[in-house]
Structure 1
Amino acid sequence: MKAVLMTAAGNPEVLQIQEVVNPAVPVGNTKLLIRLVAAGINPIDTKLRSRGTFYPELMPAILGCDGAGIVEAVGAGVQRFRPGDAVYFCYGGLGAESGNYAEYTVVDERFVAHKPTSVSFAEAAAAPLVLITAWEALYERGRLEPGEKVLIHGGAGGVGHVAIQLAKLKGAAVSTTVSSQEKANFVKQLGADEVIFYKQTDFVQAALDWTDGEGVDLAFDTVGGETFHKTFPAVRVYGDIVTILEPNANTVWKVARARNLRIGLELMLTPMLQGLEESLQHQAEILEQCAKWIDQGKLKIQVNHQFPLEQAAKAHQLLESGSITGKIVLLISDE
C-alpha cells in the first residue's frame, strides 16, 4: 500500500510517500482492517513531525490520528462491524501504532465509531480529534451546565468551531475570540452569542462587560501561551478554566488562586499514550453520539482545505502557516 512515512524529525519535506506492506487482521481478535478514504490533519501531527514522535526508537513512522474509511475485513471476535461499514475514529499516529496517512490501517473495533451518514468521508475524517477534545474539555474537565456562560478562545479554529457548537447543544451562552470579520461571520453562523475581536479589544474587559462584571463560568483556552494566564480575571470566582496547551513554566497563578479557579488540563491523547482501553472506548462512544448530532443537522465540521495523500507535506506547511479556519484533510481514495 501507499503511505506517507515520516523518515526523521524535521521540516515538512521529511514526509515521503512510499510503498509499504499492507497490514493484516490477526485471526480471532476484535480488530478491523480499514481502507482509509480520508485522514484529518491536526497540530499534533506537525508537532510530532518537527520535534519527533513519542517513540523515536520506532522510526520511520506513519502520522495521522484521525481517519475515516470502509471496513475491509474483521477479526473473528468482532461484533459491532462487518465488511462494507463506513467508520471514523481517532487512533494511532503517535509513533507506536501506525497512523492514517496511508491506504489501510488496523484498529480495534472498540475504538471505532460508525461514520455519520450525512457527511463526506473528508468531513468525517476531520472530526474525531476535535470532537473528543472539545467534548472532554467542556463536558468533563469544565463540567459545563445549561445556562452557563463560556468564553472560547479561537472560535474559528479546528477545536474552537466544534466547541462553540457543543456548548450551544448543552444550552450554554457562548462568547468567542476571533481575528477577522470573516471569522466573526463564521462563528455567528455556528451560534456564538458574543464575538470579540481580540486584536482590537481587551477580551477580558469584553467578557466582564458581557457578564455584568462577574466573569464567565468557564473559559476554554485553545491558544495557549500568555492567553492562558491573561484569561484568569475573565473567569468568575470559583469558575473553571480549561486549556489544551501546557501552561508556561513562568505562568503567574496569583489571580487564579485569588479567584479560586478550578484549572483543567485537557489532552485527548492520554488514553492512547497510557494504554487506557476503557477511556479509548469512551472516546468512541463520544463519536457515536456526535455522529447522531451531525446526522440531525445539529453539529457540523468545517473542512476548508483538501490535499491528495502525496501532498501531505504541503498540508503541513499550510497548517503551520497559522490562522486556519476549520480543518485540513488528506484525500486517500475515491468513494
Structure 2
Amino acid sequence: MRPVLLVAGALTALFFLSLALGAGRLGTGSDAVWLLAVSRLPRTAAAMLAGAGLAVAGVIMQMLARNRFVEPATVGTGQAAGLGLVAVALLAPGAPLWFRMLVAMASALLATAGFLALVRRLPFRDPLLVPLTGIVYGGILAAVTGFIAYENDLLQYIDIWMNGEFSGVMLGRYEFLWLAGAATLVAYAFANRFTIAGMGEEMSLSLGLSYGQVMALGLAIVSVVTAVTVVTVGMLPFVGLVVPNIASQLRGDHLRRSLPLLASAGAGLVLTCDILGRIIWYPYEIPVGTILGVIGAAVFIWMLQGRRADAG
C-alpha cells in the first residue's frame, strides 16, 4: 500500500477515535450533537491543523537552514513568539487575541531571521553545529522570556502558552489555526521553489530563482504557523523535526511530492499524542506537549546517534 494511502487511512481512524473519546459520555440526540460541534470536532480539527502546519513549517525551516536537525521549536521561533506574548501582556494587557497573534508573529519572524543569519556564518562541514546553535539560541530567548515573566509575576501566564495542550479548545477558540492550514496550501503552491532554495543560494540564482523572495516567503510561513499555534494551543515541540525526516525517507526531498504525506503525518502525530494524553491518565489529561517532548527528544537523540555512526 502506498504510504500516503496508509497514512490517510490511519488519520481517518484517529479522527473518529478522537471524536469518541472524552471525559463526558457522548450519548445520543441533541446533547451529542452539541458536544461534537462545540468541543470534540474543534479539538480534533485543532490538533490536525496544528500538526500539519508545524510539519510543513519544519521542513521549510530545514530547507532554509539547509539542515535536517532544526525546526521552529528548537531554533527560537516558538520561544520568540512567547516573548512577544509577554511583551503584549505587559504593555497592552487588554489587547484582543488577534493583536497578540500579530505581535507573536512579528517576534517569531525576527527571531527566525536572526537565527538564519547566524547559521550562515557556520561551517557546513559540521551539520551538528546548526542544531546546537539553535538550541542555545532558543534557550537564551526562553531565559529572557522567563526572567521578564518572573519579574512581573507572569510565570503562570507564560507556562500556559509554552506547554501545548488541547483541553481548552472549543468552538470559537481555535479558528486562528485555519491560518496554519492556509499557510500549508501556500507552501504547496510554492513547493518547487522551496526545493530549489534548499540547494543553496548559488544554485538558486543560477536557475533564475529569486532566492531572497523565497527566503522571505518561507520565513513568513514558519512565523505564521508557529505564532498561531503558540497563541491558540501553546508550543508543540519536535513535530517539525520528526515528521519531515521520516517523510524524507519515504518520499525523498522533492517537497511537492512529499508534502501531502508530510502534512497528513504531522496531523496524525499530534492527534495520536492528544489521544494518548486523554487515555493514559483518564479521566484526567496529560498535555500533548509533554508527550511530544518525550517522543521527539528520543527520536532526536536517535537521529544524532545515526548521524555520528554515518560519519564514523
TM range, normalised to the smaller chain?
Answer: under 0.3
More strand, by proportion: 1
* TM-score scaled by length of structure 1: 0.26
